[in-house]
């Protein structure tokens, strides 16, 4: 999509169209997004010459098979149905916790476009495809019918949790200085993430660590055995590494009732205090 200036619509709330100095802005409509079409994406390009070159390459890509998109939609439908059927999920979760199974990894991996890491050829072949007509129709439907009230509800619930979490040394909030906060995820930084998630799980709160697929390139290179590489201090990214290794995501969503959020806030505060006291005792 060639878009040299900001798109305005007087009939709808103004949308964030990216930084005005950006040459390329990508939007994802994957299954985990608020505004999902169960796949697909959009690229906004500010430079016309760059746009025409990219368009020429794009038109040579094969079109996604309708059958493949149909299979993805069916898979997501059954997962959504399972996760939103209390009479099924409650007894199932009882056995999952009894057997100490990692159900979060199973669900998140099934929702991702790549449930397993593909090799380089498979990755680029999967990415370099034009969307099929059903996917384009779904994207168009989303653009025409998106409910902005859902986004406002998400912000309201997330801000409610933020305002009621106690300020403790064992919890660090991130992204608070961002001008635009939609709270697609609700991340917090904790000193002992594995222990934090384990304690919350005992109270039936499914905090999760593996939602992000971000990685620090320099760390990834040095962790690879067959690439002997030395990274000097100037190129190391300790803050990024710490953030990725210590972030957990709380289940804060616009449809979670207020009383459930109050329980979550209370348990998170208690857990943070327990870990803080444990840390202080270990120093004595």
180 with 122, same domain: the answer is no
pLDDT of residue 59: 92
Whether the pLDDT of residue 12 is over 60: the answer is no
More confident of the two residues 268 and 105: 268
Q: Which long-range contacts (CB under 8 A, 24 or more apart) does 253-260 make?
A: 253/154, 253/157, 254/150, 254/153, 254/154, 254/156, 254/157, 255/153, 256/157, 258/160
161 with 136, same domain: the answer is no
Residue that is last in its domain, among 96, 111, 146: 146
Q: Distance between CA 85 and CA 105 in Å, rounded?
A: 19
121 with 28, same domain: the answer is yes
The predicted-structure confidence for 191-213, as pLDDT tens digits, reads as follows: 888 888 888 888 888 888 765 66
Whether the pLDDT of residue 174 is over 80: the answer is yes
Answer whether 189's CB lies under 8 Å from 168's CB: no
170: left (phi over 0), alpha (psi -120 to 50) or beta: alpha
Burial pattern 47-80, b for ≥16 Cβ within 10 A else e, equals eeeebeeeeeeeeeeeebeeeebeebbeebeeee
Whether the pLDDT of residue 221 is over 70: the answer is no
272 with 140, same domain: the answer is no
Q: Which domain holds residue 223?
A: 147-284
The predicted-structure confidence for 42-69, as pLDDT tens digits, reads as follows: 888 988 999 999 999 999 999 999 998 9
61 with 163, same domain: the answer is no
- Mean pLDDT of the chain, nearest integer: 79
* Mean pLDDT score, 241-251: 87
Number of domains, the chain: 2
Q: Residue 114 has which token pair?
A: 């790549």
179 with 267, same domain: the answer is yes
- Find tokens 């998170």 and name the residue: 268
Q: Distance between CA 148 and CA 135 in Å, rounded?
A: 22
CATH code where residue 191 lies: 3.90.1150.10
Q: Which long-range contacts (CB under 8 A, 24 or more apart) does 9-12 make?
A: 12/148
Residue that is last in its domain, among 146, 173, 196: 146
pLDDT of residue 7: 46
155 with 73, same domain: the answer is no
């Amino acid at each position: 999509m060639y878009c040299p200036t900001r798109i305005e619509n007087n009939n709808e709330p103004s949308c964030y169209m990216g930084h005005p100095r950006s040459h390329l802005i990508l939007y994802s409509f994957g299954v985990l997004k608020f505004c999902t079409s169960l796949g697909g994406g959009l690229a906004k390009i500010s430079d016309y010459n760059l746009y025409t070159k990219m368009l020429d390459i794009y038109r040579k890509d094969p079109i996604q098979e309708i059958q493949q998109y149909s299979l993805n939609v069916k898979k997501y439908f059954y997962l959504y149905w399972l996760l939103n059927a209390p009479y099924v999920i409650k007894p199932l979760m009882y056995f999952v916790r009894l057997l100490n199974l990692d159900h979060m990894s199973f669900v998140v991996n099934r929702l991702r476009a790549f449930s397993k890491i593909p090799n380089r050829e498979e990755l680029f072949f999967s990415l370099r495809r034009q969307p099929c007509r059903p996917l384009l129709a779904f994207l168009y439907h989303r653009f025409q019918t998106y409910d902005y009230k859902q986004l406002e509800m998400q912000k309201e619930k997330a801000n409610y949790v933020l305002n009621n979490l106690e300020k403790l040394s064992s919890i660090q909030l991130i992204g608070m200085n961002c001008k635009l906060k939609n709270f697609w995820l609700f991340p917090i930084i904790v000193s002992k993430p594995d222990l934090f998630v384990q304690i919350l799980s005992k109270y039936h709160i499914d905090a999760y660590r593996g939602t992000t697929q971000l990685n620090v390139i320099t760390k990834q290179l040095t962790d690879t055995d067959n690439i002997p590489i030395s990274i000097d201090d100037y190129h190391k990214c300790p803050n990024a590494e710490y953030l990725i290794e210590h972030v957990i995501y709380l289940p804060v969503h616009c449809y979670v009732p207020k009383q459930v959020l109050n329980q979550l806030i209370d348990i998170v505060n208690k857990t943070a205090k327990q870990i803080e006291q444990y840390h202080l005792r270990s120093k004595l």
